[in-house]
């Protein structure tokens, strides 16, 4: 018997540490860099290659480069590297496009608010997260007002939406838990639709709507607006209201108030004064334009993509056919073609005399395009969820939207994170395509600036600079997605 | 053995009908899965359904909470008829709990959240109360200490007990078990069966698809044998095992009891 050679009797072996030399820097280098002659050669070759590449690159970018200069010739006198002085001179234009100089603070403020709105959304450990989320819900409307200008009625409705409608529909006490059911979704869509109407009326359509209520007088119309807004708030104070009624009430009156505002044309009594000067969207440009298109595209296309993916899986034939047809059509057409359609052909379909903003048209196309891609990514995630999950949800009496929102989508979206972020990154970079239809994104600004006679021949600097901007944005999205995947990992293995 | 068989006899069965299935048929496309099923289950009955694989036993109990749709005949559950009407389906599903072969726990939610989900969203129970109820049932299936873990961190037997607790949190009148121990390692089967015996002792109406003949002998008051979509034979466990009538039942029993 071998038992004599055992160090411990059976069942009494203590836990021991692993042998020395199986960890540490040297061990890692030996294992990964010098494990075989072939690997040694590869390592040395790579090191040589990096030696050839990095020092000159670093020299050009940093050491020999010139950060302050008056012209290209001045640059060349000062150093042999990159001429960042040119970028510095043009930085305002690269950032704001042709946004009026005196109004640029609005863009800066908007960006600061954007960062603040991102915090509670991206980081679930944020202190007072729930309150911040209200702000995040109001942010798009505030941003809209800040960037475009006007009398602030849009921001006012946005705040109303975030502070009343969102909490009533989504965060009200659990006794109306079916709030996130079909009902909740419908009401939010209704509210969003009402918003689009005001937005379109105020900014994008030059056609006037007159249904003959002008005679009511401005004070009267404003009073009616305020009354409707007051009614919107009732569910916040009347706790005894049944859950379903609360939602219908808040969203219904909100939509009515917005609609009344739209047809009645009241702007809280100061209809003609503009608190902020209106800036036409054709003055948008540079990184600001990239952010506007990229962020709007991401924020709007994700929910739309999810709905499309669910629609494509639906048991209802018509919905399935419509969604499938839409997805296949959009995916089969290049984005450039869609943008051309947006810039030229869309006017044929609109009533004569209406002036449909070019940026809005571009936004719609970008959103539809990325939504179609997202739908397919999400569908992949949906298909990976075992059928048992929906069966268990069904067996407990959850409804379709409940089981999607609570059971299927959280899991499907988690699986789809790499694909979703991939699509987002693609969308963000595709925003540069708008230069083709005449919007001045950073590439457009860059190309325009190259024709400056004082600064000729600096295209490398311009494009490297733009590339760095895009790399920072896309790389942070990529890192965030990895962080998210790790955070959502609950250590489960599906068998 | 003797006191075990007595358990089944002690458990009272009321004469109130919980489930009535009449001349029910089901097809998958052209394939006739269930043929002329007639079955009545009274409150407090514990029924074990057995039969060779593919005989339609799972399909039968999945028809009772409309995970599968029947094409002909009637199914009544607790006085409500199962039709395509969504309201009635939801009402029946609230009263009928189901435990699956592969547990089907929600991997992205903790054990406690798994248990409180349906009471909160379907029964509209306040969260604190739902958690209290969930902890009570987790205690009953003997895993209160696992409440804050994720299902993926538990063993198979523990997961299945969570699944039972999750169903019980809805306070159902009927429990359906679809091969609850088939996916478990042998040493974990007992812990799940013990919980089920407890349940039977408390008077739960149960229909259980299983091959655990020991369980059938201990708690069932009726054993149903199915083959090729038909109910071939049903009887009290003792009669069923000692004196099977149909040759197909005899063959089936001889095959599973030999091992």
Most confident of A160-169, A276-285, B70-79: B70-79
Structure-model confidence comparison of residues A100 and A354, the more confident one: A100
Number of Cβ pairs closer than 8 Å across A and B? 87
Measured between beta carbons, the chain A residues lying within 8 angstroms of B183 are: 495
Taking an 8 Å cut-off on Cβ atoms, the answer to whether A391 and B100 are in contact is yes
Structure tokens at A246: 């609360």
pLDDT at A175 over 50: no
- A390 touching B (Cβ < 8 Å): no
Taking the mean position of all CA atoms in its chain, how far away is CA A217? 41
Give mean pLDDT, residues A251-269.
Answer: 67
Taking an 8 Å cut-off on Cβ atoms, the answer to whether B106 and A389 are in contact is yes
Measured between beta carbons, the chain A residues lying within 8 angstroms of B108 are: 410-411, 414, 488, 490, 492
Tell me the longest C-alpha to C-alpha distance in chain A. Answer: 109
For an interface test with A, give the residue of B102, B105, B108, B148 to mutate (most A CBs within 10 A): B108
pLDDT band at B47 (very low <50, low <70, confident <90, very high): very high
SS (H, E, C) chain A: CHHHHCCCCCCCCCCCCCCCCCCCHHHHHHHHCCCCHHHHHHHHHHHHHHHHHHHHHHHHHHHCCECCCCCHHHHHHHCCCCEHHHHHHHHHHHHHCCCCHHHHHHHHHHHHHHHHHHHHHHCCCCCCHHHHHHHHHHHHHHHHHHHHCECCHHHHHHHHHHHHHHHHHHCCCHHHHHHHCHHHHHHHHHHHHHHHHHHHHHHHCCCCCCCCCHHHCHHHHHHHHHHHHHHHHHHHHCCCCCHHHHHHHHHHHHHHHHHHHHHHCCCCCCCCCCCECCCCHHHCEHHHHHHHHHHHHHHHHHHHHHHHHHHHCCCCHHHHHHHHHHHHHHHHCCHHHHHHHHHHHHHHHCCCCCCCCHHHHHHHHHHHHHHHHHHHHHHHHHHCCCHHHHHHHHHCCCCHHHHHHHHHHHHHHHHHHHHHHHHHHHHHHHHHHHHHHCCECHHHHHHHHHCCHHHCCCHHHHHHHHHHHHHHHHHHHHHHHHHHHHHHCCCCCCC
pLDDT at A261 over 60: yes
For residue B152, the SS3 value is helix
ipTM value > 0.95:
no
Paired with B17 in beta bridges are B42
Structure-model confidence comparison of residues A164 and A49, the more confident one: A49
Taking an 8 Å cut-off on Cβ atoms, the answer to whether A391 and B67 are in contact is yes
Who among A175, A397, A406 is closest to B93 (CB)?
A397
A86-96+280-489 fold: MetI-like fold (1.10.3720)
Report the C-alpha gap between B235 and B222 in whole angstroms. Answer: 5
Taking an 8 Å cut-off on Cβ atoms, the answer to whether A395 and B98 are in contact is yes
Residue B26 is inside which H or E element, if any? Answer: strand B17-28
pLDDT at A262 over 90: no
pLDDT at B8 over 70: no
pLDDT at A294 over 90: yes
Residue B80 is inside which H or E element, if any? Answer: strand B80-81
* N-terminal to C-terminal alpha carbon distance within chain A: 41
| Sign of the dihedral through C-alpha A325, A327, A332, A333 | positive
pLDDT band at A129 (very low <50, low <70, confident <90, very high): confident
pLDDT at A166 over 80: no
pLDDT at A421 over 50: yes
Taking the mean position of all CA atoms in its chain, how far away is CA A37? 49
On whether the CB atoms of residues A430 and A338 are closer than 8 A, the answer is no
Rounded to a whole number, what is the distance in Å from the CA of B197 to chain A's nearest CA?
22
Taking an 8 Å cut-off on Cβ atoms, the answer to whether A395 and B94 are in contact is no
DSSP label of B184: S
The CA-based angle B61-B100-B12, given to 5 degrees, is 60
Phi, psi of B218 (to 5 degrees): -70, -50
| Sign of the dihedral through C-alpha A155, A157, A161, A163 | positive
Nearest 10 degrees: CA dihedral of B79, B85, B89, B91?
Answer: -60
- B150 touching A (Cβ < 8 Å): yes
pLDDT band at B225 (very low <50, low <70, confident <90, very high): very high
Rounded to a whole number, what is the distance in Å from the CA of B61 to chain A's nearest CA?
12
- B153 touching A (Cβ < 8 Å): yes
User: What pLDDT does residue A15 have?
Assistant: 86
On whether the CB atoms of residues B119 and B130 are closer than 8 A, the answer is yes
DSSP label of B259: -
User: What pLDDT does residue A274 have?
Assistant: 63
pLDDT band at B115 (very low <50, low <70, confident <90, very high): very high
Q: Which DSSP string corresponds to B192-231?
A: HHHHHHHHHHTT-EEEEE---HHHHHHH-SEEEEEETTEE
Spans of all domains in chain A: 86-96+280-489
Who among B102, B118, B150 is closest to A492 (CB)?
B150
User: What pLDDT does residue B6 have?
Assistant: 57
Q: Which of B:219-258 have CB within 8 Å of A?
A: none
Give mean pLDDT, residues A293-316.
Answer: 93
**Cβ burial, residue B228 (10 Å; 0-12/13-18/19+):** middle
Rounded to a whole number, what is the distance in Å from the CA of A9 to chain B's nearest CA?
26
Give mean pLDDT, residues B51-62.
Answer: 93
pLDDT band at A245 (very low <50, low <70, confident <90, very high): confident
A81-126 pLDDT per residue, tens:
888 888 888 899 999 999 999 999 999 999 999 999 998 888 888 8
pLDDT band at B7 (very low <50, low <70, confident <90, very high): low
Rounded to a whole number, what is the distance in Å from the CA of B6 to chain A's nearest CA?
33
Q: What is the mean pLDDT of chain A?
A: 81
Phi, psi of B85 (to 5 degrees): -65, 120
Rounded to a whole number, what is the distance in Å from the CA of A240 to chain B's nearest CA?
15
Paired with B32 in beta bridges are B27
User: What pLDDT does residue B75 have?
Assistant: 95
**How crowded is residue A120: how many other Cβ atoms within 10 Å of its Cβ?**
21
Closest CA to B96 of B78, B112, B81: B78
Closest CA to A139 of A295, A335, A294, A285: A295
B137-173 pLDDT per residue, tens:
999 999 999 999 999 999 999 999 999 999 999 999 9
Report the C-alpha gap between B192 and B100 in whole angstroms. Answer: 12
User: What pLDDT does residue A194 have?
Assistant: 62
pLDDT band at A27 (very low <50, low <70, confident <90, very high): confident
Structure tokens at A215: 């005679």
Taking an 8 Å cut-off on Cβ atoms, the answer to whether B108 and A490 are in contact is yes
Measured between beta carbons, the chain A residues lying within 8 angstroms of B120 are: 174, 177
On whether the CB atoms of residues A243 and A179 are closer than 8 A, the answer is yes
Report the C-alpha gap between A439 and A447 in whole angstroms. Answer: 12
Phi, psi of A14 (to 5 degrees): -80, 160
Where does residue A243 fall: left (phi above 0), alpha (psi -120 to 50 degrees), or beta otherwise? alpha
Who among A176, A398, A414 is closest to B122 (CB)?
A398
Burial B60-88 (b: 16+ CB within 10 A, else e): bbbbbbbbbebeebebbbbeeebeeeeee
User: What pLDDT does residue A170 have?
Assistant: 64
Give mean pLDDT, residues A4-21.
Answer: 80
Length of chain A: 495
Q: What percent of chain A has pLDDT over 90?
A: 36
Q: Which of A:401-460 have CB within 8 Å of B?
A: 402, 406-407, 410-411, 414
Report the C-alpha gap between A34 and A49 in whole angstroms. Answer: 17
Q: Which of B:21-50 have CB within 8 Å of A?
A: none
**Cβ burial, residue A140 (10 Å; 0-12/13-18/19+):** buried
Measured between beta carbons, the chain A residues lying within 8 angstroms of B185 are: none
For residue B140, the SS3 value is helix
pLDDT at A42 over 50: yes
On whether the CB atoms of residues A195 and A157 are closer than 8 A, the answer is yes
User: What pLDDT does residue A401 have?
Assistant: 84
Measured between beta carbons, the chain B residues lying within 8 angstroms of A388 are: 100, 102, 104
Most confident of A232-236, A396-400, A457-461, B2-6: A396-400
User: What pLDDT does residue A341 have?
Assistant: 85
The CA-based angle A492-B164-B97, given to 5 degrees, is 115
Give mean pLDDT, residues A143-160.
Answer: 79
pLDDT at A437 over 90: no
User: What pLDDT does residue A32 have?
Assistant: 84
Give mean pLDDT, residues A139-150.
Answer: 86
Where does residue A491 fall: left (phi above 0), alpha (psi -120 to 50 degrees), or beta otherwise? left
């Amino acid at each position: 018997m071998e038992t004599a050679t055992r160090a411990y009797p059976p069942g009494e072996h203590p836990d021991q540490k692993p042998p020395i030399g199986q960890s540490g820097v040297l061990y890692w280098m030996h294992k990964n860099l010098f494990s075989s002659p072939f690997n040694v050669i590869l390592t040395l070759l790579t090191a040589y290659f990096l030696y050839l590449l990095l020092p000159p690159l670093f020299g050009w970018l940093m050491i020999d480069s010139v950060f302050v200069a008056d012209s290209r010739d001045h640059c060349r006198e000062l150093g042999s590297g990159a001429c960042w002085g040119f970028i510095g001179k043009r930085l305002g234009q690269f950032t704001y496009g042709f946004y009026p100089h005196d109004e640029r603070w609005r863009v800066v403020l908007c960006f600061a608010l954007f960062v603040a709105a991102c915090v509670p959304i991206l980081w679930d450990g944020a202190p007072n997260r729930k309150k911040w989320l209200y702000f995040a819900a109001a942010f798009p409307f505030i941003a809209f007002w800040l960037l475009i200008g006007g009398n602030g009625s849009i921001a006012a409705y946005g705040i109303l939406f975030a502070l009343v409608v969102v909490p009533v529909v989504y965060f009200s006490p659990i006794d109306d838990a079916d709030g996130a059911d079909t009902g909740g979704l419908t009401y939010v869509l209704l509210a969003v639709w009402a918003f689009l109407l005001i937005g379109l009326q105020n900014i994008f359509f030059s056609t006037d709507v007159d249904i003959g209520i002008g005679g009511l007088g401005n004070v009267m119309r404003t009073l009616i607006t305020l009354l409707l807004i007051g009614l919107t708030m009732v569910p916040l104070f009347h706790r005894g209201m049944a859950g379903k009624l609360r939602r219908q009430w808040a969203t219904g009156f909100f939509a009515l108030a917005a609609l009344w505002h739209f047809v009645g044309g009241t702007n809280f009594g100061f209809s003609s004064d503009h608190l902020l000067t209106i800036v036409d969207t054709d003055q948008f440009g540079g990184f600001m334009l990239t952010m506007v298109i990229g962020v709007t595209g991401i924020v709007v296309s994700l929910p739309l993509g999810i709905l499309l993916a669910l629609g494509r899986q639906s048991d209802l034939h018509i919905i399935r056919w419509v969604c499938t047809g839409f997805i296949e059509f959009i995916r089969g057409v290049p984005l450039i073609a869609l943008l051309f359609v947006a810039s030229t052909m869309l006017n044929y379909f609109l009533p004569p005399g209406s002036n449909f903003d070019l940026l809005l048209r571009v936004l719609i196309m970008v959103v539809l395009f990325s939504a179609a891609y997202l739908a397919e990514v999400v569908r992949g995630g949906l298909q990976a969820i075992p059928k048992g999950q929906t069966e268990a949800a069904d067996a407990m009496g959850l409804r379709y939207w409940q089981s999607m929102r609570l059971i299927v989508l959280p899991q499907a979206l988690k699986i789809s994170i790499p694909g979703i972020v991939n699509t987002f990154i693609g969308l963000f970079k595709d925003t540069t395509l708008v230069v083709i239809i005449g919007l001045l994104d950073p590439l457009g600004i860059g190309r325009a600036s190259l024709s400056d006679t004082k600064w000729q021949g600096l295209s490398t600097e311009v494009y490297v600079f733009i590339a760095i901007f895009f790399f920072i944005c896309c790389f942070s999205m990529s890192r965030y997605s990895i962080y998210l995947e790790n955070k959502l990992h609950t250590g489960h293995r599906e068998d | 053995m003797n006191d075990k068989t007595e358990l089944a006899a002690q458990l009272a069965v009321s004469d109130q009908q919980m489930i009535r299935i009449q001349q029910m048929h089901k097809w998958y496309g052209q394939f006739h899965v269930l043929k002329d099923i007639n079955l009545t289950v009274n409150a407090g009955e514990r029924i074990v359904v057995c039969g060779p694989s593919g005989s339609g036993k799972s399909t039968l109990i999945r028809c009772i909470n409309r995970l599968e749709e029947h094409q002909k005949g009637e199914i009544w559950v607790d006085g409500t008829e199962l039709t395509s009407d969504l309201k009635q389906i939801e009402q029946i599903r609230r009263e009928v709990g189901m435990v699956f072969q592969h547990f089907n726990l929600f991997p992205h939610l903790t054990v406690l959240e798994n248990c409180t989900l349906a009471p909160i969203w379907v029964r509209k129970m306040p969260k604190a109360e739902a958690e209290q109820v969930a902890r009570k049932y987790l205690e009953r299936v003997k895993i209160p200490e696992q409440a804050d873990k994720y299902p993926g961190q538990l063993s198979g037997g523990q997961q299945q007990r969570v699944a039972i607790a999750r169903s019980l949190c809805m306070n159902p009148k009927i429990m359906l078990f679809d091969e609850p121990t088939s996916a478990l390692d042998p040493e974990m089967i007992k812990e799940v069966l013990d919980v089920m015996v407890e349940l039977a002792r408390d008077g739960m109406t149960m229909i259980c698809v299983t091959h655990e003949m020991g369980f059938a002998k201990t708690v069932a008051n009726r054993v149903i044998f199915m083959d090729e979509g038909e109910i071939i034979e049903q009887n009290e466990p003792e009669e069923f095992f000692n004196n099977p009538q149909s040759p197909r039942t005899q063959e089936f029993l001889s095959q599973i009891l030999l091992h």
